[in-house]
A and B are shown apart, each in its own frame.
Chain A
Amino acid sequence: MLRYLLRKLLIYSLTFVVAVTIDWSIPHLMPGNPVLALMSRIQIQNPQVAQHVYASYMRSFNLDLPLWKQYYYFWVSLVHGDLGTSIMQFPTPVSSIILHAIPYTLGLLIPATLLSWYVGNKLGALAARRKVLDNTLLPFGYILTATPYMWIAILMSFLFAVTWQVLPVGYAYDPTAGRGWSLTFGYDLFRHWLLPFLSLFLVACGGWAIGMRNLIIYELEADYAHYLESLGAPRKLVRKYAFRNALLPQITGLALALGAVIAGALVTEIVFSYPGLGYQIYRAITNEDYFVIQGIFLFIIVGVLIANFVVDIVYMIVDPRTRIGMQEGGQA
């Protein structure tokens, strides 16, 4: 098992290096110069002075060095936790932007992903049990999973926030709220969090439900299921085993799904003006704020890699066959 873990670690590290290199090269491949953008916000009237200031900014951003040196300094600053400085919000450091935004995004992503996975799988298992449930739940599931995230976000916003006005239109908390450890503020946060969460949750739920339903049907038709039935085992027991087996591909699917849910969180944050990472990326992309893009993407890369690694470990714990397969020197 140790060998398995070490090999996984090695592969993930290699992936990390390659992904980070690609991430670094993005601003440097793009046409346009971030320093010019910064300069136009200061509006210097004298051309000679402008050239001088331009040169000094190029120096401070390390942009006057050869590419390989810039790459080297990028890793150096990465190790020191320095992700660069934003252009649009000069002189705010990128790490500060990320720090302010992470809690909101994680607050959406983690509950949405986990709860939708849990509830979706349960619902799917339920649907596989009875045809009646199957015929009602399934179409619903299809509709939900085929809906683009932003459409359901906009619809929910329109219904609950604009038309019926029972929930807020956006932002993380009420503009007049005082922030602090209080029930009122917690409730306020919850109300603002609900719609974005529901948008992500509902769409993801549908997908998991359908997946689980199909998997269970498969499992119920497998040899071991028939064998158990012929032995007289109660239906419930057979279903339980089927559920456990069906869970395995769903766990792997969880890691794959993370990328899709992040994209969903991005558009949901845009629709609800929820000040998370997705919203920051969106603004950085439209403003070509290179270092912010670089920093946030780096953060996402690390996050996804860690999530994948965690899922790999969970899978290994849950599925004994992988462990046996490993011990026989097989493939991972």
Chain B
Amino acid sequence: MVRRRRRRAVGWLLVAVGAVAVIAAFGTGGAGATWQAKSYPRAQTLITSGTQWGNIAGMNPYVGNNAAGMIGLVNETLLRYDPLHNTYISWLAKSTKWSGPKQYTVVVRSGVKWSDGKAFTGSDVAFNVNLARFNTSRWNNLYQNLKLPIQVKGNSVIFNFKGTPNYVQWQNMIWNMPMISPVQGKTIKTAQDLTTYNPHNPIGTGPYKLDTSGYDVTTRVVWAKRDHWWASDQGVSPAPAPKYIIDLVNTSNTNSLAAVLAGVEDLNNNYLPGVNKLVDSGKVQTFFPRAPYMLSANTAWLEPNTTRVPLNDPVFRKALAMSININQIVTDDYQNLVLKASPTGLLPTWNKYVNSKAVKAYGFKYDPAAAKSMLLKAGYKTDSSGMIENKDGSKIDLAISVPQGWSDWEAARDMIIASAKQAGIRLHSVVQAYNTWQSDRNTGNFDLVIDNAYQISDSPWTYWNGIFHLPVISTGTGQTFANYERYSNRTAWNLTQQLDTTSPSDTTTIKSLNTSLQTILMKDVPMIPLWYNGIWAQMTSKYWTNWPAAVGARQYIPCMWNGYLQMTGIDTITHIKSTRQAAGG
């Protein structure tokens, strides 16, 4: 009897252990992985995280959630852009210029090879630009303005435009369009194909290639250094030191912090609350050694629905702007990891376009008392508890919403509600999951949201386009990429379009257009700039050193986010040095 029970017990244990063994084997196999037991030497591996939220969707540079680092490490761009010094860097293109009022010429660098050995030529460039013919491409509207076919003469690619070129958008495209290999890309035949394209092992011109044996969609992507890279062969850039770059799938901010502290991650691009404490105690390193610690990536705006009462009144919007204690958000919510925004909303890299006279004249300042008196003077009434009412006496109680779970924005929202109360403006919070929040924002079903849709780029035009873009769509999918606040100002939009069609050599017009646009923004306040979100970047020096810093020769952006490697992110990688002298370095 006892023996039977013991046998049963052993049976259970065997089942349990067996389950674990089978599952372990099964689980890490995944679909189609090859089995190599070799591990990656830690001292020669750069481990990053903070870009990939959720499983890796694939190797398609046109759709989100593609493998982090692919654009930049594998597929490169014709030009690169350094926002800190506002310069373009020749990359796959040896030179680019406006060769005529309606003509743009790209001269491809010679001696560049794809990772399959073929040469990178002008026809490859034409192939990639031709992908914009599909309506699922981001640059489809630019393609409509092109005269076809694109002329390719050896290494020169000549683009002729039908009408006035969109100078700003075109230039922006040139340093953002990833060059994919026509050998793999020729399978893209329809608009749908562009979104489902997923090569098993992408062919690119960059310094790294995919290590298929280490690739695990739930956990990591492994990039292995190529033996030859055109940039280091031709002396354009130092060769990158890490033999492998492993980017880990993000799970949560806390786990990233723990991983950074444990030395598991070298470069982390998550927002880690309280990281200022770690920098002060020397455990991690950031671009700036003190506040604001991080470079600025985009502006967080308070976006009002300007079609609703009383948000359709610029006076009310101005008063609302004046009632927000942004300093409190910066110090208490973000512990000084962000910067308070200029009343123009323009990022620090665009300081040269900020007109300080206009800011002094029209920019808003935190002053709840003045806000309240301004409203009363304009005809608004107050109710018995001192809260502002509409001019017709109806109650004002506006909803402000942020995506659920974005805790720093949730705290900011609560602080805004509390400080607006001082000026008599009644706000209440509404909680929504991200998708619902987004579709409500797009269809105009909101009062106020905090938003940061417009990113750092090579021209403030991207901001003006975001703020002033017309027409405003009131049906169907609503606003899909700009002007969520539904602000109709024909003058502003005309000026914005004019800015896009002004030749880059005409710097005076560009400056005056920017001044006019920021003045309209500050006077009418269709959007209220709050703070600049940071390019979150924390580095540890356990295995790699020589990280970018604000002072010195390495003023690069230490970030792997989409769009950043083709800025100066790749320079970060090509300049770090190993702290351990490994054999064969």
Contact = CB atoms under 8 A, between A and B. Distances in A.
Interface string B1-43: 1000000010011011101100111111111010111111110
Given A36-B438, A36-B439, A179 B213 contact: yes
A111 B27 contact: no
A96 B58 CA distance: 12
Interface stretch (A11-19, A40-48, A298-306): A40-48
Do most interface residues of chain A lie in helix, strand or loop, or is the interface mixed?
Answer: helix
A270 interface: yes
A176 B24 contact: no
Interface in A165-206: 165, 168-182, 184-186, 189-190, 193
A308 B44 CA distance: 50
A89 B65 contact: yes
B480 A273 contact: no
B54 A88 contact: yes
A106 B19 contact: yes
B36 A118 contact: no
Contacts of B27: 102-104, 107, 172
A186 B28 CA distance: 10
B37 A184 contact: yes
A184 B36 CA distance: 12
Contacts of A40: 438, 442, 480-481
B259 A44 contact: no
Given A46-B140, A88-B65, A179 B214 contact: yes
Contacts of A111: 16-17, 19-20
A6 interface: no
Interface in B171-189: none
Nearest to A188: B39
A86 B58 CA distance: 12
B246 A176 contact: yes
Interface stretch (B191-199, B364-372, B417-425, B549-557): B191-199
Given A36-B439, A88-B65, A110 B16 contact: yes
Most chain B Cβ neighbours within 10 Å, of A52, A179, A288: A179
A252 interface: no
Contacts of B26: 103
A175 B47 contact: yes
A273 B255 contact: yes
Interface residues of B, number: 83
Contacts of B246: 175-176
A317 interface: no
Contacts of B255: 169-170, 272-273
Interface stretch (A26-34, A217-225, A258-266, A322-330): A26-34
A286 interface: yes
Nearest to B56: A89
A57 to B, nearest CB: 9
Contacts of A36: 435, 438-439, 442, 477
A179 B33 CA distance: 9
A63 interface: no
Contacts of A45: 138, 140-141, 481
Contact of B16 (A115, A180, A185): A115
B54 A90 contact: no
Nearest to A287: B434
Interface in A15-70: 31-34, 36-37, 39-47, 49-54, 56, 60
A286 B138 CA distance: 27
B28 A170 contact: no
B252 A270 contact: yes
Given A53-B191, A240-B1, A169 B259 contact: yes
Nearest to B197: A91
A285 B259 CA distance: 25
Given A100-B30, A189-B24, A89 B55 contact: yes
A180 B23 contact: no
A193 B23 CA distance: 11
Contact of A180 (B13, B35, B54, B439): B35
A275 B219 contact: yes
B15 to A, nearest CB: 6
A53 B24 contact: no
B17 A181 contact: no
Contact of B481 (A43, A52, A88, A190): A43
A97 interface: yes
Nearest to A85: B196
Most chain A Cβ neighbours within 10 Å, of B138, B140, B436: B436
Interface in B234-276: 244, 246, 248-249, 251-252, 255, 258-259, 261-262, 264
A189 B19 CA distance: 14
Contacts of B58: 91-92
Given A42-B195, A88-B54, A90-B64, 10 more contacts: A36-B477, A42-B63, A42-B136, A45-B138, A46-B135, A115-B13, A170-B255, A175-B47, A179-B37, A272-B255
By Cβ-Cβ distance, the 10 closest A-B pairs, closest first, are A103-B27, A180-B37, A273-B251, A107-B23, A275-B218, A288-B435, A182-B37, A178-B39, A176-B40, A169-B258
Interface of A: 31-34, 36-37, 39-47, 49-54, 56, 60, 86, 88-92, 96-97, 99-104, 106-107, 110-111, 114-115, 118, 157, 161-162, 165, 168-182, 184-186, 189-190, 193, 240, 270, 272-273, 275, 279-280, 283, 286-288
Interface of B: 1, 9, 12-13, 15-17, 19-20, 23-31, 33, 35-42, 45, 47, 53-58, 62-65, 135-136, 138, 140-141, 191-192, 195-196, 198, 213-214, 216-220, 244, 246, 248-249, 251-252, 255, 258-259, 261-262, 264, 404-405, 433-436, 438-439, 442, 471, 473, 476-477, 480-481
